[in-house]
A and B are shown apart, each in its own frame.
Chain A
Amino acid sequence: MIKRYNLILFVVFFSLIACEKDDICIEGSENTNRINITFIDYSNKQPKSIDLNSIRGIGIDSIIEGISGTNLKLPLKVNSSKTKYLLEFNQDIDTLVIFHKTIHYYLNRSCGYISNFIVKPDTEISKDYGWIKEISIENDSIFNEEKTNILIHF
């Protein structure tokens, strides 16, 4: 009898509530940076404003809407070593192929990994239509978004 009573007691004790605290990644923690592209004039090598009709990443259906200005920031693929963009200017579409070293850096549990990139020198333009005259690498490492990484001459 006593043993049966014990069994009931045990089953009652069996119920256990588990609580877990959620970790939240603090706003303002380090983040994955985009590539910083500056457009310059082919002849005088001075920054020049541009009106792009559309930008689209290859393999992605959605279009990044047209952008105007001298400066453009684009995300790179964190799970690949190359990123391709179609840049449309005056109905001409050129393909920008960025080869990059992708380096994942661990922050903490709540933020996980971020990605840094190093632009490789074989980054190129495939000149389908040729509105882009030349491309040059200014800063190959992408650890922040302030410095210009590549220059597009047009």
Chain B
Amino acid sequence: MKKKQIFLFIFSSILSINSLFSNTEKIESDSLLKKDRIININKFRFGFDLSNPIKSSSNNDNFSYEIVSDLQLTDNLYIAGEYGSIDKLVEDENINFNSIGDYLKIGFDYNMFKNWVGMDNSIYIGLRYASSNFSNKVVSYQVRNIDAYFSNLVENDFETVNHENLSGSWIEIVTGIKVETFDNIYLGISLRLNKLLSDKKPENFDNLFIPGFNKVTDDNTWGSGFNYTITYSIPFRKKR
């Protein structure tokens, strides 16, 4: 009799502990689900820009590239960044020079596109802070002269200067789209409006081109850029 009661007691207590444990488990998983809605790290995408290598090879320049990546933070917010390396002959109106340098851009993308179930495309706006270290090596230039009796072309053998240790920083406003064209592979295009914040100018020359920022104009500090990207998404979780 006593034995039976003791057995029942142990059994029920195990049951109750069991149910207690299972209860807590449920609560934990609930809270995870709730958290899931705020921080939703589903995707890490990385890839590269298609336009830079094509442009650099068609212009007979050295290889230029840009690596892009983004990490999903919430449903619509991504940390995004680009790293690029440029080696390009810039042929300007009077001056030809080689622009060589690296740049890094870091910021956010915000997706504004409501996807249908099963789709994963985005139309986004974003913001970047970017900085670049570069050198602009003057190759040749045409000296401004009313008189064209002698050639006014100055080439490598006379006083062309390599302006080194230059730098610039700027802000980019980004708009773009990313389209999942194959499973986990996205094609993207983005347009960028750049606002130069500061740049270290060379002596007796100007920063006419900054890698990553592109052409710098005389009269204002705005610039523009674009990229065509192909990115691969590492699937952290299977799609529901």
Contact = CB atoms under 8 A, between A and B. Distances in A.
The interface centre, meaning the residue of B142, B143, B158, B215 with most chain A CB atoms within 10 A of its CB, is B143
- Give 6 nearest A-B pairs by CB, closest first: A112-B94, A75-B147, A32-B145, A78-B143, A6-B179, A79-B154
Contact of A78 (B154, B179, B187, B206): B154
A43 interface: no
Contacts of A80: 158
Interface in A1-42: 2-3, 6-7, 9-10, 13-14, 16, 20-21, 23, 25, 29-32, 34
Interface in B134-159: 141-147, 149-155, 158-159
Nearest to B185: A3
Interface in A21-75: 21, 23, 25, 29-32, 34, 57, 60, 62, 64, 75
Contacts of A112: 93-95, 141-144
B180 A6 contact: yes
A60 B147 CA distance: 14
A60 B181 CA distance: 63
A34 B120 CA distance: 67
Interface string A108-122: 111111110000000
Contacts of A75: 145, 147, 149-150
B182 interface: yes
A77 B150 contact: yes
A15 B177 CA distance: 14
Interface of B: 92-95, 116, 118-119, 121, 141-147, 149-155, 158-159, 177, 179-182, 187, 189, 191, 204-206, 208, 215, 217-218, 226, 228
A79 B157 CA distance: 9
Contact of A79 (B155, B180, B218): B155
25 contacts: A3-B181, A6-B181, A7-B187, A10-B181, A16-B191, A29-B144, A31-B144, A31-B146, A32-B145, A32-B146, A34-B147, A62-B149, A64-B149, A78-B143, A78-B145, A78-B152, A104-B143, A106-B205, A108-B218, A109-B206, A109-B217, A110-B94, A112-B93, A112-B142, A114-B143
A25 B116 CA distance: 54
A13 B143 contact: no
Interface in A100-140: 102, 104-115
A152 B191 CA distance: 63
Given A2-B119, A112-B141, A113-B144, A78 B226 contact: no
Contacts of B116: 2
B187 A10 contact: yes
A29 B146 CA distance: 11
Contact of B159 (A2, A3, A76, A102): A102
The interface centre, meaning the residue of B181, B205, B228 with most chain A CB atoms within 10 A of its CB, is B181
Nearest to B160: A104
A16 B144 contact: no
Given A78-B150, A104-B143, A106-B206, 4 more contacts: A13-B177, A13-B189, A14-B228, A114-B144
Contacts of B153: 79
